[in-house]
Amino acid sequence: MGEAADIAREGEWLIAAWHGEIDMSNARTLEHETLEALRNSDVGLTVDLSEVGYIDSAGIRSLLTIKRLLQERQQQLHLVIPEDSVINKALEVGGVVSAIPVHRSIAGSRETR
């Protein structure tokens, strides 16, 4: 279980890579760690879910919470989810894909900043 988010910075964007499996045991921790790393001056946040093999409603709620908070602060949220990832379906059903821009790779996410 990857409890820690890998935080990196690319200019005025914060990149948070989540790992492993996300459920009620770790979703809030990831959410808080990611938000704590975000600066007021940041243009946006990319949450990289490339290395996530499982996500349930707890993880989806965390992503939607982050989305709302960033919207209030006029910051952008983008996600990276590879096309062949098994988590796509849950994220679609959970309304994440329609609410948050999704890129298929980190490289792809850079082009739209």
Partner 1 sequence: MGDTGTILLAMSTRYVHDSHAQEHLRRVQTVTDAALAHLTVETLLEELLIRIRELLRADTAAVLLLDEKHGELVATAAKGIEEEVEQGIRLPVGGGFAGKIAASGKPVVLEEVDHERVLNPLLLKRGIRSMLGVPLIVSGSTIGVLHVGTLQPRKFTPEDIELLQLVADRVALAINLRRDHDQRLIAGRLQRSLLPDRLPKVEGIEIAGHYHPADAGMVGGDWYDVFALKSNSLCVVVGDIAGRGISAAIEMARLRNAVRAIALLEEAPSVVLSRLNEFLLHFDSEVVATMVVGVVDANGTLRYANAGHLPPLVLNRHGQASIVDEPAEPPIGAFDSSSYRERTLALEPESTLILYTDGLVERRGRSLEEGLEALRRAAESPWTNLGMLCARLLESDQTEPGLADDIALLALSFTREAGNEIHRTYEADPRILASLRGSLRRWLAGHSEDLQLRQDILVAVGEAAANSIEHAHGPGRGVVQIDGRARDGMIEITVRDRGAWREPRGRDRGLGRSLMSSLMDEVRFHTDERGTLVTLRKQVR
Give contact residues for partner 1 (rule: CB under 8 A). 1-4, 6, 19-21, 23-25, 51, 53-54, 56-58, 60-61, 64-65, 86-87, 89-90, 93-95
Q: Residues near 40 by Cβ (< 8 Å), separated by ≥ 6?
A: 73
Q: Residues near 74 by Cβ (< 8 Å), separated by ≥ 6?
A: none
Q: Which residue's CB is nearer to partner 1, number 25 or number 71?
A: 25
Minimum distance, C-beta of residue 22 to partner 1, in the bound complex (Å): 10
Minimum distance, C-beta of residue 102 to partner 1, in the bound complex (Å): 17
Q: Which residue's CB is nearer to partner 1, number 17 or number 38?
A: 17
Nearest Cα residue to 104 out of 87, 89, 83, 84: 83
